Structure 1
Amino acid sequence: MSRSKWILLGVVALAMVLFFVLDLRQYLTLDLFSELYRENPGKTQLIYFLVYVAVTAFSLPGAAIMTVVGGAVFGLWTGVVLVSFASTIGATLAFLISRTLLRDWVQKRFGSYLESINQGIEREGAFYLFTMRLIPAIPFFVINLVMGLTPMKVWRFFWVSQLGMLAGTLVYVNAGAQLGQVQEFSLQGILTPGLIVSFLLLALFPWCARFALARVRQRKLYQNYPMPDKFDTNMVVIGAGSAGLVSSYIAAAVKAKVSLVEKHRMGGDCLNTGCVPSKALIRSARVKHYAEQASHYGLKVPEVEVDFPAVMERVQRVISTIEPHDSIERFTGLGVDCVTGSAEIKTPWQVEVNGETITTRNIVIATGARPFVPPIPGLDQVGYLTSDNVWELRQQPARLLVIGGGPIGCELAQAFSRLGSQVVQLDMAPRIMPREDRDVSEAVAERFAAEGIDIRVDHKPVLFESDGDCKWLMAEHQGEQVRIEFDQLLMAVGRKANTEGFGLDRLDIGTTPQGTLEVNEYLQTSYPNIFACGDVAGPYQFTHTASHQAWYATVNALFGRWKKFKVDYSVIPWATFTDPEVARVGLNEQEADEKGIEYEVTRYDISDLDRAIADEEAHGFIKVLTVPGRDRILGVTIVGYHAAELITEYVGAMKHKLGLNKILGTIHIYPTLSESNKFVAGEWKRAHAPQRLLAWVEKYHRRLRGG
């Protein structure tokens, strides 16, 4: 830091120390300035002006009080002029102090995080600042300091602040002016019409300002898209996956006219290429595994032969059985106008499908996501499968290479391994299932290794090559090149939101760094009448989360002018359907550590559970994170048989703010797996038993025995 910056920092620090040590705030009073004003009006105005500038420049408390005092002492218009210019000059000085002392350091250290903010400031910085000045949701001194860290020009900051704070200044100074006219501080003296109106203005100003700004922003946003006089529908939903189906169902249930557009198959990824087919495949693989473990149950079973084409046909049969639940016929019967074709958003009010235009008051984007395929050299040469097209296989791969250690990669790797493929699972991370705690991923990895899956973590794919029927991957591991041969390749490294191809670029609707559509807490995009939900919106790409979001998107779209609801992500469960299953809700240890949240861990080993022993499923554990010293649940992870079912009790407990004591006091059927939930609560209770009280109780019982 340069010498000049050190001097400036010293001046700022000295001013703050003197202000608090000498308690200078006691002099910012109505009596002091009133007395000075009677003796020397001009000198008092100058002193007031300079003190106000100093208080604002050094971000000291007292600016709001001085604003009211200014109105009481100098009257409305003189007070407005003094406060308006003093506050703007002081704010600009605070802006410059922040920029001089902190901007270079902050931009250097956090430049990548601030890049989007900087771009927004350069593009619409004046409007952002004006909005914050007009609606002081953030304290003004914070705005001054934060804006100093951005590329905003000093002159722009000055005049926008001058205009933005003027309305609020007028309201506050007027309140002070009305107080200054009070002759006696009695109930009758205070309850004058002028003072009552002033207090009403103080209360209503933020609401009026917010409403006015919303109207201005909406007018600016829609200036090139005039609203039609009438609409064909209340809502158009694009995408018939989980989010789109639920949105359409809810809209039709509340008697809105809704059109559902789908260019492929109803049901989306979950029904056709995701949850349903994968669980059907996992079930077939598990049955084969059970048959191989028959001796543990006292049974003798001949060697099981896998008919792979029949297994894959069963998968399609399961899809066909569930398909009517999501069919055009069913949703048409529910009152939804189902349209098959590619949708294109022409304006915020128009969606074109098959050459025909549908006018609508609201649009819900529920286009889902697709498998992400990284650009690895040679990938197209060797060919690859994803979770979209793996279901087309009818010949079982002898050697399957699975790239990806997340839920999809783990589920499919184990399923194919159990069906008889030789599986190599590769991931760049140091362990599979990296979002889970280390003990969780290690438990799954140990089972995979025991079943013959070759796990290669900390391996970076570099190059795919082939020579006739021989295919191989060159990967980098600890600085060395490793060759891995395979017959089929399955890419399972994540999913990418479907945001292209239906007109979003025309409206310049933004996306997040993760590639999902940028939505607010009401699931609105930058256009208030265009909503997004499901995988395309994130942040969670689960079928049940998509359905959860769909309710908020639909209700806010149809009734948002009267009441809007913020989407609730407080209790989001999920599961990975490996064997053992992994289910979680809330925080795990690594997330709590990353966020600096204190917690206690209570653990119960399922191997001690009677039902698990009887079922030959005595493995896994339950781990509950609680607030230290209390039974409030922060998060739960379950590893074991039917973990996805067992987690539901904790989901309900967290949703309705029930602690472990309530779970412990609830009767659980014996013998069941759900008893493990009660036993882990018992472990917590035992660890928090009141030892001093129990010592006195022990003495009491001893005395009763005559000891």
Structure 2
Amino acid sequence: MSLKKLLLLLIIVALFISAFAFDLTQYLSLDVLKEKQQQLNQLFVDYPFQVFAIYFVVYVASTALSLPGATILTLGAGAIFGLGWGLLLASFAASLGAFLAFLSARFILHDWVQEKFGDRLTAINRGMERDGAFYLLSLRLVPLFPFFVINLVMGLTKIKAWTFYWVSQVGMLLGTAVYVNAGTQLAQISSLGDVISADLIGAFVLLGIFPLIAKAVLAFVKRRKAFKGYKKPKSFDNNLVVIGAGSAGLVSAYIAATVKAKVTLIEKHKMGGDCLNTGCVPSKALLHVAELAHNARNASSAGVHVGEVSVDFKQVMQQVKSVIKDIEPHDSVERYTKLGVDVEQGDARIVSPWEVEVTSNVEGKSETKRITTRSIIIATGAKPLVPDFEGLDKVDYLTSDTLWELDELPKRLLVLGGGPIGCELSQAFQRLGSQVTQVEMAERLMGPEDADTVELLTRRLTAEGIDIRLNHKALRFEQHNGESVLIAEQTVDNESVDNQNADQSKDVEIPFDKVLIALGRQPNITGFGLEELGVQTNKTVSTNELLQTNFPNIYACGDVAGPYQLTHVASHQAWYASVNALFDPFKTFRADYSVIPWVTYTSPQVANVGLTEQQAKKADKPYEVTEYDIGELDRAIADDSAYGRVKVLTKPGKDELLGVNIVGPQAGELLAEYVLAMKYGIGLNKILGTIHSYPTLAEANKYVAGEWKRANAPQKLLTWVEKFHRWRRS
């Protein structure tokens, strides 16, 4: 705690204790007020401004210090100043005193509480930012809750100070008016029970829940406004219609069927979506074959001589398709039909908030039918982003969608993009035998990753022969003597004549046989009725924390909704979207993104969970870094894969995990232990105390915990322990 905070705390404690030590609270009683009423009334007649000001200051101080007696002061305001002036004084004095108590709690304890319990308070903080005014108003309107407790507790949350003040001013007004009015009849009051009855408390309680009722009414009005102009069916064919049978759509339909809802799943292309057909599955199958070729070429260093390694690319692609075929039954129409899902294969179009048209081709004829449903989930995924480069239409370019139709290995492959997809496929094709040139407009690959992470990966990709062109911005494509060429603007940092650094650029030509566009993905938000219906979009389908669109019964999840384009996040979101769609308004859940892992499947793999170091710096979040060199790990040395490191970010002086980054063999598998630890609040001490099998790569997790422990050893205690052992030897 800082000196300023400690000083303020001491002053508050001293004033609080003094009030009782000098028995000042005796004046804040009903008997004393009634006894002194005539004197106080006369003083107000003689010195109106002075008495009003002194009474105001005493009221503010009493409330700010949370002293008992605010009720008596409110009665006194009515008894001395009358209803009008008394209400004015008590209302503003009570609000100002509460505000000072709030600010004191916030200044002294807020940072400490948020730092110590911030992760557990995340949901509360979000709720206060979103609905704090409603919660506070409800509490202020119900006199059952001690106001001083509300002041202090609210100071520990993230509610805005101005919101706290004006809501307190409004919320306490009615209760204050009751007591001030009672104070005007002070002679008839023998106890506080005469002021407020059980019936009146009941009325306050009903009034207190009014903001919540108002919130529900506003939600109802919002729903009515969203549905204005559309006729809701009297009954529905389905509880849920899911558009898109990728990861998000499949999980949504699966959950709906599991809880016995009537659900229809619509897919216009292939079941399984991008992940099965053009994304995760084929790319990992290709990476596996590429690694086999790479290991075969390098096996001689271990004494295994396999001769010249050749790659039959057609067979490689057949192997990839075979893997897809083996996994297809998991996502097939037959499987989902058996689970209880009605599967429709065709084009879906949302024609009203409760109606979806499906157009399918049946025996060469186009047929359209309309399905009514209580709720809809949009899970239409994303597609490769292909900028409109000049001359691109003259080039037979590839994307992550069309790549899998190749039957001949490109001799020279140009890869545009330095993200995860670009890096994975660059390495795969280089290992299969292409000469890969990877072009990235930024100063390094994998922009969201830490610089040291990127350095480890770039060094390995370069060592394998990939020609990495950083600071190269693709401009256009041209044909030179029948050869495809990329014209790129290269930015170079040269020292000018006057010794001042200046960025200069020049155009360079990069010839290629095939070009792979790997510049990210864009959500599929057009072509199925969103624009006509008025569903709000902003690059992605706009959703709230429940994954609702601006139509409360229409949800979106997966790549089409963002913010993460990851298969496991799509599945994660699908649970929230489907449960909310099926059980709202009776029960809803806000999507939780607190612990999201992500992996790039290059060699070495790059795996993350929580904050990266550059994210922590950007957020100005204090952290400590602990690293362990995988090059020192016995199993990695035995496997000839001793390359990479484990980097852990923790809170300063504590073993609480903020983030983990692993570069190395099987990094994605090693990460799982940290994902579990972060999800359930397990620190490095417990990881260190867990037995890990020897020799395994997972021991790296224990060793990095050991590095942290050594760095945070209690040196003073160890000094005394050393003395203790010296004494025992004497």
Task: Report the count of equivalent residues.
Answer: 603
Match of 2:99 in 1: none
Structure 1 residues 72 and 554, CA, compared in 2 at 3 Å: closer, same or farther? farther
Secondary structure in structure 2 of the residue aligned to 1:386? coil
Using the size of structure 1 for normalisation, the TM-score is 0.78
Provide the rounded CA distance (Å) in 2 between the counterparts of 1:460 and 1:247: 40
RMSD between superposed Cα atoms in Å? 3.7
Letter in 2 for 1:347: S
Decide whether the 8 Å contact of 1:437 with 1:588 is kept in 2. yes
Provide the rounded CA distance (Å) in 1 between the counterparts of 2:393 and 2:190: 84
Letter in 2 for 1:685: K
Match of 1:509 in 2: 535
Structure 1 residues 39 and 602, CA, compared in 2 at 3 Å: closer, same or farther? closer
Secondary structure in structure 2 of the residue aligned to 1:647? helix
Is 2:582 aligned against 1:558? yes
Is 2:312 aligned against 1:307? yes
Provide the rounded CA distance (Å) in 2 between the counterparts of 1:61 and 1:378: 74
Tell me the CA shift for residue 199 of structure 1. 3.1
Decide whether the 8 Å contact of 1:179 with 1:195 is kept in 2. no
Pairs within 5 Å for 1:76-95: none
Match of 1:193 in 2: 198
Provide the rounded CA distance (Å) in 2 between the counterparts of 1:668 and 1:166: 59
Is 2:651 aligned against 1:646? no
> In the TM superposition, what whole-angstrom CA distance separates every residue of 1:292-312 from its partner, at most 9, and x where no partner exists?
111232211111110011101
Pairs within 5 Å for 1:512-523: 512=538, 515-523=539-547
Secondary structure in structure 2 of the residue aligned to 1:622? strand
Letter in 2 for 1:480: K
Provide the rounded CA distance (Å) in 1 between the counterparts of 2:519 and 2:711: 41
Provide the rounded CA distance (Å) in 2 between the counterparts of 1:626 and 1:574: 19
Match of 2:653 in 1: 629
1:684 to 708, 715, 725: 708
Tell me the CA shift for residue 356 of structure 1. 1.2
Letter in 1 for 2:520: G
2:408 to 395, 405, 418: 395
Match of 2:271 in 1: 266
Provide the rounded CA distance (Å) in 2 between the counterparts of 1:692 and 1:140: 42
Tell me the CA shift for residue 336 of structure 1. 0.3
Is 2:489 aligned against 1:463? no
Decide whether the 8 Å contact of 1:405 with 1:425 is kept in 2. yes
Using the size of structure 2 for normalisation, the TM-score is 0.76
Decide whether the 8 Å contact of 1:178 with 1:194 is kept in 2. no
Match of 1:453 in 2: 466
Match of 1:350 in 2: 355
> In the TM superposition, what whole-angstrom CA distance separates every residue of 1:462-506 from its partner, at most 9, and x where no partner exists?
111114530101111121111111110100011101111111112
Secondary structure in structure 2 of the residue aligned to 1:575? strand
Is 2:552 aligned against 1:528? yes
Decide whether the 8 Å contact of 1:175 with 1:198 is kept in 2. no
Match of 2:377 in 1: 364
Decide whether the 8 Å contact of 1:171 with 1:202 is kept in 2. no
Match of 1:111 in 2: none
> In the TM superposition, what whole-angstrom CA distance separates every residue of 1:326-347 from its partner, at most 9, and x where no partner exists?
0000000000000011111111
**Structure 2 spans left out of the alignment, 5+ residues:** 1-27, 93-130, 141-153, 360-367, 492-504
2:520 to 490, 494, 510: 494
Letter in 1 for 2:436: V
Structure 1 residues 232 and 262, CA, compared in 2 at 3 Å: closer, same or farther? same
> In the TM superposition, what whole-angstrom CA distance separates every residue of 1:272-296 from its partner, at most 9, and x where no partner exists?
0000000000000000000011123
Tell me the CA shift for residue 172 of structure 1. 5.1
Decide whether the 8 Å contact of 2:384 with 2:518 is kept in 1. yes
**Structure 1 spans left out of the alignment, 5+ residues:** 1-28, 88-127, 146-160
1:285 to 270, 290, 297: 290
Provide the rounded CA distance (Å) in 2 between the counterparts of 1:536 and 1:79: 58
Provide the rounded CA distance (Å) in 2 between the counterparts of 1:255 and 1:223: 31
Secondary structure in structure 1 of the residue aligned to 2:537? coil
Decide whether the 8 Å contact of 2:134 with 2:212 is kept in 1. no
Secondary structure in structure 2 of the residue aligned to 1:574? strand
Tell me the CA shift for residue 538 of structure 1. 0.6
1:374 to 369, 381, 387: 387
Secondary structure in structure 2 of the residue aligned to 1:402? strand
Structure 1 residues 365 and 521, CA, compared in 2 at 3 Å: closer, same or farther? same
Is 2:506 aligned against 1:480? yes
Provide the rounded CA distance (Å) in 2 between the counterparts of 1:705 and 1:315: 68
Provide the rounded CA distance (Å) in 2 between the counterparts of 1:520 and 1:388: 30
Provide the rounded CA distance (Å) in 1 between the counterparts of 2:41 and 2:605: 77
Match of 1:317 in 2: 322
Match of 2:565 in 1: 541
Match of 1:701 in 2: 725
Match of 2:127 in 1: none
Match of 1:152 in 2: none
Provide the rounded CA distance (Å) in 2 between the counterparts of 1:321 and 1:667: 37
Tell me the CA shift for residue 383 of structure 1. 2.8
Tell me the CA shift for residue 217 of structure 1. 1.5
Decide whether the 8 Å contact of 2:437 with 2:469 is kept in 1. yes
Match of 1:572 in 2: 596
174-183 vs 539-548, greater mean Cα deviation: 174-183
Tell me the CA shift for residue 224 of structure 1. 1.3
Provide the rounded CA distance (Å) in 1 between the counterparts of 2:192 and 2:351: 61
1:340 to 323, 342, 345: 345
> In the TM superposition, what whole-angstrom CA distance separates every residue of 1:627-658 from its partner, at most 9, and x where no partner exists?
00000000000000000000000000000100
Structure 1 residues 632 and 505, CA, compared in 2 at 3 Å: closer, same or farther? same
Provide the rounded CA distance (Å) in 1 between the counterparts of 2:217 and 2:411: 67
Structure 1 residues 410 and 140, CA, compared in 2 at 3 Å: closer, same or farther? closer
Letter in 2 for 1:333: K
Letter in 1 for 2:249: G
Letter in 2 for 1:502: F
